[in-house]
Amino acid sequence: MRQELICITCPMGCRLVAERTGEGELVVSGNRCPRGAAYAREELFAPKRTVTATCRVSRPCAGDRSCAAAETASQALDAPRRVPVRTSAAFPKDRVPELLARLYELEVELPVERGAVVLADALGTGIDVLATRSLK
Amino acid sequence: MKEMRFDSAVIGGGAAGMAAALELAARGLSCAVIEREGHLGGILMQCVHNGFGLIEFNEELSGPEFAERFEEKVRKTAITPFVGTTVIEIENEGAEKVLSCVSAGLGVVRIRAKAVVLAMGCRERNRGNIRIPGSRPAGVYTAGLAQRLVNIEGYVPGKDVVIIGSGDIGLIMARRMSWVGCKVHAVVEILPYPSGLTRNIVQCLNDFGIPLYLSHLTTNIYGKDRVEGVEITPIENGALMTEKAFKIPCDTVLLSVGLVPENELSKTAGVEINPMTNGPIVDSSLMTSVPGIFACGNVLHVHDLVDFVVEEARRAGAFAAEWLSGKRPAKEVRVKAGPNVRYVNQSRVDPSRDNKLYLRTLIVKNDALLEVKLNNKVVRQAKKSHVQPSEMISLTLGPAELEAALQVPDSVLEISIQ
Ligand SMILES: Cc1cc2nc3c(=O)[nH]c(=O)nc-3n(C[C@H](O)[C@H](O)[C@H](O)COP(=O)(O)OP(=O)(O)OC[C@H]3O[C@@H](n4cnc5c(N)ncnc54)[C@H](O)[C@@H]3O)c2cc1C
Ligand code: SF4
């Protein structure tokens, strides 16, 4: 079986050809460096992607009138309504939709610090999802 | 009216502004950073994808992480940040620059400084700039605006999306819109090759099966109140194939058709603009045509990597500090963009020290040759395995290459790519 793919490890973007031999081995050509062969192996057998997304935030004072009144109108308007997050490592590609669905259900309580774990051991992969911005 | 005085003032609190201010503060100068938005960070705050800081931090960070690391450094210094404050005019008053600023909290403020660093970033080209015919329905956004709506404000602007332009912002938004549940039907590019990085084509289009139409022009946008579709026409050998035009139904169009440095404000101070970059013309110390006003980052020329923005901004800050201490270059050599070079970021180099230059090519080529000539004599050649207009090229030239210019008046340095 012969497959063509593009290495995304670095901006060179080498065009790779991967061929599976009879013994189930993978022969890679077209790569300008060894990382290309490793990429082809991973991409064909267990593709992974770093996932970034945003989660809803819940301000502790939301709904509390005394607190809402303390905020000036302009602060309330330009206060971000999503907190950005990313996976701590590349995540199995076929499970990305499932991960996103889980992240969109989350509500992150403020304040949150950059680097805080918003979802630990996501879908049992051992990979955490971290906040990438501090929000008050 | 309130007046304040600083040694230096930086306009714009994005990556460039923060990096320049840190250099000024490190040299013991008082410094104000004036930022229109309610927080520092600039465009990085809406770039929640990863891919930032590989050079600066040797890590792949998201935009907000990169920005916050800089903001933390700024907060540890004596830099005075003014957020939620817009500069509306720059005037030259003797040896001082006077910045007229407005903010909700402070009202109108005049900030006086002896040196000013411009770091206002850039804005997106819009539908008017590229003249797409058709009606004027709701649902046409620039990609960066859509990015802000989705990533910060939490609004998804449509369901069925077509993206015009294959620059990195458009590609990143194709993935983002897919990840928030939209269907992206196509990315349409007028050129025969994509303007974004190959890795973004793979990660942002191929992963989602989004077709990329190269050499295709958007010839119409349909819809009365809301976008109903776009008409796409192939280009073959430079001619529009009107009989092969087709329609893609959609309710949202995102435009990713280039960025323009934000220089309306610079013009109020009399800063001269380079028509090739739409940014100020700067000398070997990144100083504009107005003495004491420096420029860096996307306001100077559009960068593709924040790491380069930061590198350039640090130099602008350091040069501004040197200028304030009275240092001036003894001699400068004029820089000329030669064959196949669209522009070089600065118009002069200083032959007595190292000069880091950024340039863009006009061509797409593998195994290209970059050549530098001083007064028609080749002083440097460098092989480039791949060049394309969307990837900035950097180059450092020092006394070894430039020394000969010291003997020749009106020397010219020409950079070309073959
Ligand atoms: C959508 C997008 C995706 C990108 N993706 C990547 C990537 O994956 N990797 C990477 O390395 N780089 C990426 N970049 C490039 C990089 O992030 C930017 O080039 C860099 O952050 C620009 O920094 P800057 O400080 O020059 O401009 P900006 O961040 O735009 O900062 C300019 C600031 O000036 C302020 N301002 C403007 N006018 C005024 C005024 N009159 N008064 C007061 N304040 C004012 C603005 O509010 C803004 O905050 C991306 C850029 C964009 C737009
Ligand atoms: S094979 Fe090596 S050089 Fe080619 S794209 Fe991959 S990492 Fe880069």
Any idea what the CATH number is for the domain that residue B369 is in?
A: 2.60.40
CA-nearest residue, atom 6 of ligand 2: A36
Searching chain B, which residue's CA lies closest to the CA of residue A48?
B203
Partner residue facing B151 (CB), from A11, A54, A96: A54
User: Are B210 and B299 contained in the same domain?
Assistant: no
* A132 compared with B386, residue with greater pLDDT: A132
CA dist., res. A129 & res. A120, Å (int)? 6
Task: Give the predicted TM-score (pTM) of the model.
Answer: 0.92
CA-nearest residue, atom 8 of ligand 2: A10
* Tokens matching residue B218: 């958007």
User: Are B131 and B253 contained in the same domain?
Assistant: yes
CA dist., res. B234 & res. A49, Å (int)? 33
- Cβ contact B65–A13 (<8 Å): no
Residue pairs spanning A and B at CB distance below 8 A: 76
User: Are B138 and B249 contained in the same domain?
Assistant: yes
Tens of each residue's pLDDT in chain B, 418 residues: 899 999 999 999 999 999 999 999 999 999 999 999 999 999 999 999 998 988 888 888 999 999 999 999 999 999 999 999 999 999 999 999 999 999 988 899 999 999 999 999 999 998 877 788 888 899 999 999 999 999 999 999 999 999 999 999 999 999 999 999 999 999 999 999 888 888 899 899 999 999 999 999 999 999 999 999 999 999 999 999 999 999 999 999 999 999 999 999 999 999 999 999 999 999 999 999 999 999 999 999 999 889 999 999 999 999 999 999 999 998 999 999 999 999 999 999 999 999 999 999 999 898 999 999 999 999 999 999 888 888 899 999 999 999 999 889 899 999 999 9
Q: Is A89 in the pocket of ligand 2 (CB under 6 A)?
A: no
Kindly report the nearest CA distance between residue A91 and chain B, in angstroms: 13
Searching chain A, which residue's CA lies closest to the CA of residue B38?
A78
CB-based contact B263:B279 (threshold 8 Å): yes
Kindly report the nearest CA distance between residue A90 and chain B, in angstroms: 11
User: Are B97 and B147 contained in the same domain?
Assistant: no
Q: Which among B236, B257, B278 is the end of a domain?
A: B257
User: Are B357 and B384 contained in the same domain?
Assistant: yes
User: Are B237 and B295 contained in the same domain?
Assistant: no
CA dist., res. B286 & res. B335, Å (int)? 13
User: Are B251 and B308 contained in the same domain?
Assistant: no
- Cβ contact B198–A49 (<8 Å): no
User: Are B9 and B116 contained in the same domain?
Assistant: yes
Q: Is B316 in the pocket of ligand 1 (CB under 6 A)?
A: no
CA dist., res. B340 & res. A111, Å (int)? 52
Q: Is A15 in the pocket of ligand 2 (CB under 6 A)?
A: no
User: Are B302 and B407 contained in the same domain?
Assistant: no
User: Across B246-398, where does the E strand assignment appear?
Assistant: 246-249, 252-255, 259-261, 273-274, 279-280, 293-295, 333-337, 341-344, 348-349, 355-361, 365-374, 377-387, 393-397
User: Are B269 and B370 contained in the same domain?
Assistant: no
Q: Which among B308, B328, B348 is the end of a domain?
A: B328
User: Are B138 and B243 contained in the same domain?
Assistant: yes
A88 near B CB under 8 A: no
- Spacing of C-alpha B250 from chain mean position: 30
B43, B71, B103, B153: best to mutate for the A interface, most A CBs within 10 A: B153
A48, A132, A134, A135: best to mutate for the B interface, most B CBs within 10 A: A132
Q: Which among B218, B238, B257 is the end of a domain?
A: B257
Q: How many domains does chain B have?
A: 3
CB-based contact B151:B283 (threshold 8 Å): no
User: Are B86 and B143 contained in the same domain?
Assistant: no
CATH number at residue B132: 3.50.50.60
Q: Which of A12, A78, A86 is nearest to B199 (CA)?
A: A12
Residues of the domain holding B289: 2-123+260-328
Partner residue facing B50 (CB), from A50, A74, A78: A50
Cα A14 to ligand 2 centroid, rounded to whole Å: 6
